């Protein structure tokens, strides 16, 4: 088909504004999926996505549509909305010419809307504003339309009003996509050589690495000899095709197509997002790739049994083939054995990876308390080191300058909640840079705050003080000097590295008390007394104790000499004393996970 009949586009929006539901209606209206096979969130194939009602992994799909007697190919890439997965959005935008900027008619423009819009504008993509959920009784259609007009400097009639749930207005949206989004134009109009951009990939046990590509030049056919420009890895195309939305093999992919290539490569690390694929003979030059994602949260992953270390390594490599934003390297701990220090894009990303390791690979893990990275400079030796794990942080810090990352945060909230939000920002060491009225009833705040404080339950606290109405987005900013210290938890005198964390010195005593109290409520009673101590600033800051399980050893006795009961109790007392000396506290896996999720 002629390139002028191709349209490649993505849907971008704040979380829960209805991207997946609108995708369902597009697939339904174009007849891509039979009605009997249609279901909600049809492009969200991962079990976790369907459970949580969010998109985690981008998903391309090819649709056919006829307009005015002409056939068109519509390539859609459905993208995640949560801020942790904004990297997925940036990757998909490199493969398209236009986007649908979706805004919920009940919530209006949110903080993440600014972030994804900036990505699309930076790439010069055509933007079609779409107002979704107009069927709801609480929809503020006119007011939100004005917000979009102010945001994009467009005309009200340029905004498409639709309902992803009922399908209202979706047919007009399809026409608008064909009218406004430009067709892809190949720079080199020749059959060979070919060139394609890798925007995603996955791993199959039987097929090896399967790359998702946008073909830029020429065409690709089975058995073609190709290579990755960056890694230099050569391969022969075993299979290629489109997504409808399931993989559908084809005889060729041509310039303008979005599809997949089966490479047969079984080694990790050869396929990279942003790499260019071209012919082995007379190759074309590489196209500009993507910015490498920077992890913002670090946590150590240890197998509960050291026998599973090899399985954990293999599982992380497999997940890394599907999730380029995941990074990890091997480390070891005296108490926990061998494991991996892993980097994540945020707390949700960490939680999703932990859950996938548990479900898909049947791994029982110990996940340490999440932390950010710190840059330490020794003031005497001028030696510089970067610390990723709290248990590696020096106990004595007087000879160090400590630097931490700060983030630029945008918050949009109804004006009525400004007072508690300002109080929350003060508690999290934030600096308010600007405050402006965004619409008649909402205010936009631009702030700077330590990344450490953002990870300290800030999102949940913001939702709580604003009754769920505030939204926020963030991006990494500069580094600044940090006033922090290390907190350790000792169980019966032994430091548990998985519980160590770095906290602000100004609230170290409060954090110590909360940690001890929380752990006291999480660890179940055992046969020995459990002594919990929280240590920081060179002393014990908080302590709790969990009494041992008790059994009445004289319960079966009925009457008789009192000395018999006394002997039994004395014997029990000696046994308890011996067990206290030799016994080891068993900390269930759930305790580690709950301490991670509730970390302040």
In the block, tokens 């060179």 appear at: 538
Backbone angles phi, psi at 95, to 5 degrees: -105, 5
The answer to whether the beta carbons of residues 244 and 215 sit under 8 Å apart is no
> Across-strand partners of 202?
210
Q: How far apart are CA 168 and CA 173, in angstroms?
A: 10
Instruction: Give the helix, strand, coil percentages of the chain, each rounded to 5.
Output: 30, 35, 35
> Across-strand partners of 204?
208
Other Cβ atoms closer than 10 A to 153:
7
- Residue 476 DSSP symbol: E
Is 491 labelled as part of a ligand binding site? Answer: no
Token pair belonging to 332: 């070891």
Is 132 labelled as part of a ligand binding site? Answer: yes
The answer to whether the beta carbons of residues 395 and 500 sit under 8 Å apart is no
Backbone angles phi, psi at 356, to 5 degrees: -65, -40
The answer to whether the beta carbons of residues 445 and 400 sit under 8 Å apart is no
Is 32 labelled as part of a ligand binding site? Answer: no
DSSP letters spanning 432-465 = EEEEEE-SSSEEEEEEEEEHHHHTTTHHHHHHHH
CA dihedral 320, 322, 324, 325 (to 10 degrees): -80
Is 18 labelled as part of a ligand binding site? Answer: yes
Is 467 labelled as part of a ligand binding site? Answer: no
Token pair belonging to 411: 């918050």
The answer to whether the beta carbons of residues 379 and 388 sit under 8 Å apart is no
Token pair belonging to 49: 């996505």
Strands (E), 281-373: 297-303, 327-333, 337-344, 365-367
Nearest to 556 by CA among 548, 564, 545: 564
- Based on its alpha-carbon atoms, the radius of gyration of the chain, rounded to whole angstroms, reads 28
Q: Classify each residue of 77-115 as buried b or exposed e, where b means 16 or more C-beta atoms within 10 Å of its C-beta.
A: bbbbbbbbbbbbbbbbbbbbbbbbbbbbbbbbbbbbbbb
Distance of CA 345 to the CA centre of its chain: 5
Q: How far apart are CA 44 and CA 299, in angstroms?
A: 27
Is 256 labelled as part of a ligand binding site? Answer: no
Is 525 labelled as part of a ligand binding site? Answer: no
Is 124 labelled as part of a ligand binding site? Answer: no
In the block, tokens 């996940």 appear at: 367
The answer to whether the beta carbons of residues 41 and 50 sit under 8 Å apart is yes
Q: How far apart are CA 457 and CA 24, in angstroms?
A: 33
Binding residue numbers for GTP = 16-21, 132-135
Binding residue numbers = 16-21, 132-135
């Amino acid at each position: 088909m002629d390139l002028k009949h191709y349209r490649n586009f993505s849907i971008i929006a704040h979380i829960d504004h209805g991207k997946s539901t609108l995708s369902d209606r597009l697939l339904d209206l174009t007849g891509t999926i039979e009605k009997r096979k249609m279901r909600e969130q049809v492009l969200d194939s991962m079990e976790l996505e369907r459970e949580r009602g969010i998109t985690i992994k981008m998903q391309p799909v090819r649709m056919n549509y006829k307009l005015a007697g002409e056939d068109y190919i519509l390539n859609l890439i459905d993208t995640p909305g949560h801020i942790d997965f904004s990297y997925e959005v940036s990757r998909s935008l490199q493969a398209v010419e236009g986007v649908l900027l979706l805004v919920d008619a009940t919530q209006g423009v949110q903080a993440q809307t600014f972030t994804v819009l900036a990505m699309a504008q930076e790439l010069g993509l055509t933007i079609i504003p779409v107002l979704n959920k107009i069927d709801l009784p609480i929809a503020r259609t006119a007011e939100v339309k004005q917000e979009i007009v102010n945001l994009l400097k467009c005309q009200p009639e340029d905004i498409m009003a639709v309902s992803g749930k009922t399908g209202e207005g979706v047919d007009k949206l399809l026409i608008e996509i064909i009218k406004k989004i430009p067709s892809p134009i190949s720079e080199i109009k020749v059959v060979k050589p070919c060139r394609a951009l890798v925007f995603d990939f996955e791993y199959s046990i039987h097929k090896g690495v399967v790359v998702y590509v946008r073909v830029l030049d020429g065409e690709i056919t089975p058995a073609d000899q190709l290579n990755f420009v960056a890694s230099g890895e050569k391969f022969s195309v075993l299979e290629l095709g489109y997504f409808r939305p399931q993989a559908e093999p084809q005889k060729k992919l041509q310039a303008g197509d979005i599809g997949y290539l089966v490479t047969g490569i079984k080694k990790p690390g050869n396929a990279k997002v942003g790499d260019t694929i071209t012919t082995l003979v007379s190759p074309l030059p590489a196209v500009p790739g993507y910015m490498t994602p920077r992890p913002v949260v670090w946590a150590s992953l240890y197998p509960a049994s050291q026998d599973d270390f090899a399985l954990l390594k293999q599982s992380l490599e497999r997940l890394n083939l599907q999730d380029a934003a995941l990074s990890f390297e091997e480390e070891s701990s005296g108490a926990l054995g061998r494991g991996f220090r892993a980097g994540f894009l945020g707390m949700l990303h960490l939680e999703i990876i932990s859950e996938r390791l548990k479900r898909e690979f049947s791994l029982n893990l110990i996940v340490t308390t999440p932390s950010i990275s710190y840059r330490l400079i020794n003031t005497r030796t001028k030696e510089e080191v970067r610390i990723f794990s709290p248990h590696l942080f020096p106990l004595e810090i007087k000879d160090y300058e400590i630097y931490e990352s700060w983030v630029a945060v945008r918050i949009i909230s109804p004006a009525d909640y400004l007072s508690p939000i300002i109080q929350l920002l003060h508690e999290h060491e934030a600096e308010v840079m600007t405050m402006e009225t965004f619409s008649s009833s909402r205010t936009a705040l631009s702030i700077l705050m330590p990344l450490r404080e953002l990870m300290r339950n800030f999102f949940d606290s913001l939702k709580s003080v604003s009754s769920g109405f505030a939204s926020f987005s963030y991006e990494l900013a500069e580094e600044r000097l940090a006033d922090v210290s290390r907190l350790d938890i000792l169980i019966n005198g032994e430091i548990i590295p998985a519980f160590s964390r770095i906290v602000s010195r100004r609230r170290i005593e409060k954090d110590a008390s909360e940690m001890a109290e929380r752990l006291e409520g999480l660890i179940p009673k055992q046969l020995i007394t459990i002594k919990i101590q929280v240590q920081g600033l060179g002393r014990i800051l908080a302590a709790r104790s969990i009494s041992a399980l008790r059994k009445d050893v004289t319960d079966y006795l009925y009457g008789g000499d009192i000395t018999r009961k006394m002997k039994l109790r004395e014997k029990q007392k000696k046994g308890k004393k011996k067990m206290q000396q030799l016994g080891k506290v068993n900390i269930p896996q759930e305790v580690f996970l709950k301490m991670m999720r509730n970390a302040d």
